[in-house]
Amino acid sequence: MSEILHELLCASEKAACIARACRQEEALFQLLIEEKKEDERNKKFLTDFKTLADVLVQEVIKHDLGKKFPGLEKNVRGEESNEFTNEHEEKIIVEVCSTEEETASLLQKVLDNNKAAAKTLARAVHQEVTLKDLALDADNVSIPLDNIAVWVDPIDSTYQYIKGSEDIKPVKGIYPKGLQCVTVLIGVFLLDTGHPIMGVINQPFAVKDPVTLRWKSQLYWGVSYMGSNICSGNPDNKTRCVSQQSSTTGDNSYAAVTSSAETKDVLKALLVVCGENLHFAAGAGYKCLCVIQGLVDFYLFSEDTTFKWDSCAPHAILKSLGGGILNLSECIKSANKKPCNRPHILYNSEEEEAKGADRWANKGGLVAYRSEQHLEDFIDIFTKNLP
């Protein structure tokens, strides 16, 4: 099992290397952006961009996983379609070729004949990525390769990635925006049940080396399968993020993070429950990471603009910590039910009536948590404060 986890981590690190390489040269970066097609449009943004980096990263992950586990590439699903239109309205299928030279010449077509840029990218695509000092203590778990599929978000928080702010200050450890909110998300789920079982989150712009001025990744992973729960780091998942005796909200004070796009009614209720411990941050993956790191107790969002590829990887990690991600609207409806009856988000079924990316939307919103007991309490108070 460590083998597949190891491969996911390496794939995420190669993805992070490509993401960093693409940001380094502004002229190159400007070449890489293309507007999303109408039916794939994420409702929330008027102009949403997908980048060649995004498409390429997804293809690299698919290619590298398929090389190690033949057949698995057919079950790697992602946000992006690999059809790219260049400046001359030429349609090009972006894929990893068998040699670096072939990949470079394919990329050259996408990059309007920019040979140097294409070469740099192809080098990043074909490089060997090794991860030092990885202690993957997950050998005893055997994963059924014929019953798994993978959701990939090659770059989450594209908007922050394109903007590229490097100097945002964290508030109580949480970055409201900036490059730190960018993540690569790779989640494995079971095809038959739809349950997430393994996840990797790579934060490509986590720390900047003060000497080389180069960004370095931080990696997080978790496995939750057949009673085995293993994860990177060792946060005490049962602690609450704020003092139990908060003066404004008494015993019921919880820390939560949400999107700046959250609705007024939900924000009002969250403010009552969390007070000054309500935070805002960009990136669905990054907000989940705040829960995983123990910076907040919950990530809550009531809109339909997160997708399976946003939540699958963090969901598996949260499960390995004793938590999970639930459908928020169902959770509110079943506020008095036992937590075991609450609806976990599943990854193998689509919204029948929806079109394009919306088929894979987390409809009804989501709530990510680490402790079932705290969730119980929180949902109860939160629901009572909704209009």
Question: Does residue 185 contact residue 313 with C-beta atoms inside 8 Å?
Answer: yes
User: Per-residue DSSP letters for 109-141?
Assistant: HHTTT-HHHHHHHHHHHH-----TT-----TT-
Neighbouring-strand partners of residue 298: 256, 369
Q: Tell me whether residue 89 is annotated as binding.
A: no
Binding residue (CB under 6 A) for ligand 2IP from 12, 120, 237, 259:
259
Contacts for 130 with CB less than 8 Å, ≥ 6 apart = 10
- State the binding partner of 42 from ligand 2IP, Ca ion, none, CB within 5 to 8 A by kind: ligand 2IP
Residue nearer to ligand 2IP on the CB measure, 368 or 381: 368
Residue nearer to ligand 2IP on the CB measure, 13 or 358: 358
Name the catalytic one among 7, 13, 79, 358.
79
As measured in angstroms, the least distance from the Cβ of 304 to ligand 2IP is: 9
Q: Which residue is nearest to ligand 2IP (CB)?
A: 259
Q: For 13, list phi and psi in degrees, rounded to 5.
A: -75, -35
Binding residue (CB under 6 A) for ligand 2IP from 42, 82, 246, 252:
42
Chain-centroid distance, C-alpha 335? 27
Binding residue (CB under 6 A) for ligand 2IP from 78, 196, 199, 283:
283
Question: Does residue 311 contact residue 345 with C-beta atoms inside 8 Å?
Answer: yes
Asked if 80 interacts with ligand 2IP (CB under 6 A), we say: no
Largest CA distance in the chain: 64
- Known catalytic residue: 358? no
Name the residue with tokens 């700046």: 260
User: CA 22 to CA 283: how far, in whole Å?
Assistant: 19
Neighbouring-strand partners of residue 230: 223
Residue 169 DSSP one-character state:
P
- Known catalytic residue: 156? yes
As measured in angstroms, the least distance from the Cβ of 241 to ligand 2IP is: 19
As measured in angstroms, the least distance from the Cβ of 141 to ligand 2IP is: 29
- Known catalytic residue: 380? no
Name the residue with tokens 């036992």: 338
Asked if 284 interacts with ligand 2IP (CB under 6 A), we say: yes
Active site residues: 54, 79, 153, 155-156, 158, 310
Residue ranges of the binding site for Mg(2+): 79, 153, 155-156, 310
Q: Give the interface with ligand 2IP as residue ranges (CB under 6 A).
A: 42, 153, 156-158, 259-261, 282-284, 305-307, 310
Residue ranges of the binding site: 79, 153, 155-156, 310
